[in-house]
Structure 1
Amino acid sequence: MRVVSLVPSLTEAVAVSAPGLLAGATDWCDRPAGLDVVRVGGTKNPDVPGILALNPDLVIANEEENRAPDLDALRAAGVRVLVTEVRALPQAFRELERVLVDGCGLARPRWLAEAESAWAELRPPERSLPAVVPVWRRPWMVLGRDTFAGDLLRRLGVRQVYAGHHDRYPRVPLDELRASGAALVVLPDEPYRFTADDGPEAFPGLPCALVSGRHLTWYGPSLAEAPAVIGAALRAALR
């Protein structure tokens, strides 16, 4: 089987489970380190003719990260396209099994069971801390309703101030974010690469947790480490 992945987290999931399956991946697919496959452009602007030239048996994509016209063009050319939707942790586990077992014909990988165990072993948080979670700057955008990252944070005791917003990634002016009542700011290093300087500059006086975007937003092998990695970042910010 020849697989092309248009989603970095799914690229990692397939490459770790069965390295020889991947024929192509996007320019943003940087895990696992040293991945040697044909690059087919970005997630939003893939090289459709280049993908077709690879003669893939399956293209894996995501409804949020990839554009419907590109996926439609691949289907029109006769390519099987599997599109995932991931907005909560249980859904991530189901979709990973669908991609790897149903889509790629693999045995269920051990790392997936380890990831499920890592999250199942979490004790319910003793308290829930209100937080804003920016994902972009210029303009400021934050996590809103119905997001995978928001579900992970909720399980770790972080209550998003904008979880009830009608948009999934609302644009919110900085002065409104500062007045939101948040007791914590969570700053991932992707998709916008927030650094340790961004928090004190934009949110003076508020504790800021700088977290790994891969562990917060990717659904793949990183899920096994995510509770410990994100939890450590949150604890460090609140000391």
Structure 2
Amino acid sequence: MKTYIDQLGNQHTFETTPTRIVSLVPSQTELLFDLGLEDNIVGITKFCVHPYHLKSTKKSIGGTKKVHLEKIRLLNPDIIIANKEENTLEIVEELRQICPVWVTNIITIEDNLQMISDFGQLFNKRTEAQKWIDKTNFGLADFQQFIKDKDVKKVAYFIWANPYMVAGGDNFINELLKLNKFQNIYDNNPKYEGRYPEIIIQKMQIQGDPELILLSSEPFPFKDEHAFELGRHTHHATTVFVDGEMFSWYGSRLVKAFDYFKKLHLRIGDQILH
């Protein structure tokens, strides 16, 4: 019997290492795969698109906010991997009737490293987990060296249109914005509460006037007309389309994100010059 504690402080006891895994979060599915657990993954969401071939080899059990309980039950899982932000408390409590539900809570890079370590312990993949922790720490140190002399820029990071919504504080996106020396004008903004507040774009200039408007590729497909509309409500902001996976996916994806961020800063520099 082994006992482990997840990132919400829930205690889980297993007689043997869990071998049948249902994953409810795309970035965590990718991490499980990268830890060498492909054969143990039995169920994923329709949004679990990396690696792509899992869509055809694993059972789809719905989305992150609405799961098919009976499909999950029939998969006979030993453990379900969820996340505090992605999955509702109601879903987690229903799924606990089937088997233990391990809930992650990722806001900082340290939280991310803890999750990788936890999965290494939980699934007896300690060596693989340590490799990804080392890669992450190496990439982080390298990127911090790259970014250290860059100026801080005020930004607004948009995730949705109609209504317009942005990344506020207390979330992983905001942590990665800070890492990039992007000062989020909606972080701890008293006018807008919550992790992903709905905002009034007409007030953007008086509530922070960002130098950069970042339009995420997910979950909303922003187009040029959105960039134009948003730009009209700032003084002289540069609008940049960014890869939402690089800013919002945790797990092993962060290793790729560091190189992406370097290229992004070079691209932003070119856009500002021209």
For this structure pair, what is the TM-score category when the shorter chain's length is used for normalisation?
over 0.9
Q: How many residues are matched? A: 237
1:130-149 counterparts in 2 under 5 A?
A: 130-149=154-173
Compared with structure 1, are the counterparts of its residues 30 and 156 closer, same or farther at alpha carbon in structure 2 (3 Å cutoff)? same
Structure 2: which amino acid aligns with 1:188? S
Match of 1:181 among 209, 212, 215: 209
Instruction: Please report how far the alpha carbon of residue 49 of structure 1 lies from its aligned counterpart in structure 2 after TM superposition.
Output: 1.4
Structure 2: which amino acid aligns with 1:158? F
Contact 1:189-1:195 at 8 Å conserved across structures: no
Compared with structure 1, are the counterparts of its residues 185 and 125 closer, same or farther at alpha carbon in structure 2 (3 Å cutoff)? farther
Structure 2: which amino acid aligns with 1:224? V
- 2:109 is equivalent to residue 89 of structure 1: yes
Choose 12-21 or 55-64, whichever is displaced more. 12-21
CA distance in 2, matches of 1:234, 1:76: 47
Instruction: Please report how far the alpha carbon of residue 197 of structure 1 lies from its aligned counterpart in structure 2 after TM superposition.
Output: 4.9
Runs of 4+ that moved beyond 6 A: none
- 2:182 is equivalent to residue 151 of structure 1: no
Instruction: Please report how far the alpha carbon of residue 230 of structure 1 lies from its aligned counterpart in structure 2 after TM superposition.
Output: 2.4
In structure 2, the residue corresponding to 1:225 is in which secondary structure? helix
CA distance in 1, matches of 2:114, 2:204: 34
Instruction: Please report how far the alpha carbon of residue 200 of structure 1 lies from its aligned counterpart in structure 2 after TM superposition.
Output: 2.9
CA distance in 1, matches of 2:149, 2:111: 21
Show the counterpart of 1:13.
31
Q: Give the structure-1-normalised TM-score.
A: 0.93
Contact 1:178-1:203 at 8 Å conserved across structures: no
Contact 1:184-1:207 at 8 Å conserved across structures: yes
Show the counterpart of 2:5.
none
Structure 1 residues 103-134: Cα deviation after superposition (integer angstroms, max 9, x where no partner): 32212422332122101222235321111111
Aligned-CA RMSD value: 1.6
Structure 2: which amino acid aligns with 1:149? I
Instruction: Please report how far the alpha carbon of residue 154 of structure 1 lies from its aligned counterpart in structure 2 after TM superposition.
Output: 0.8
CA distance in 2, matches of 1:218, 1:108: 22
- 2:121 is equivalent to residue 102 of structure 1: yes
Instruction: Please report how far the alpha carbon of residue 31 of structure 1 lies from its aligned counterpart in structure 2 after TM superposition.
Output: 0.5
Contact 1:129-1:184 at 8 Å conserved across structures: yes
Compared with structure 1, are the counterparts of its residues 72 and 140 closer, same or farther at alpha carbon in structure 2 (3 Å cutoff)? same
Structure 1: stretches of 5+ with no match in the other structure: none
Instruction: Please report how far the alpha carbon of residue 182 of structure 1 lies from its aligned counterpart in structure 2 after TM superposition.
Output: 0.7
Q: Give the structure-2-normalised TM-score.
A: 0.81
- 2:80 is equivalent to residue 59 of structure 1: yes
1:195-206 counterparts in 2 under 5 A?
A: 195-204=223-232, 205-206=236-237
Structure 2: stretches of 5+ with no match in the other structure: 1-18
Instruction: Please report how far the alpha carbon of residue 65 of structure 1 lies from its aligned counterpart in structure 2 after TM superposition.
Output: 0.4
Match of 1:169 among 189, 192, 196: 196
CA distance in 1, matches of 2:149, 2:84: 31
CA distance in 1, matches of 2:226, 2:141: 33
Show the counterpart of 2:16.
none
Instruction: Please report how far the alpha carbon of residue 96 of structure 1 lies from its aligned counterpart in structure 2 after TM superposition.
Output: 2.3
Structure 2: which amino acid aligns with 1:92? N
Show the counterpart of 2:21.
3
Show the counterpart of 2:7.
none
Structure 2: which amino acid aligns with 1:106? K
CA distance in 1, matches of 2:221, 2:205: 20
Structure 2: which amino acid aligns with 1:128? V
Match of 1:24 among 40, 43, 57: 43
Choose 182-191 or 104-113, whichever is displaced more. 104-113
CA distance in 2, matches of 1:125, 1:88: 22
Structure 2: which amino acid aligns with 1:86? I
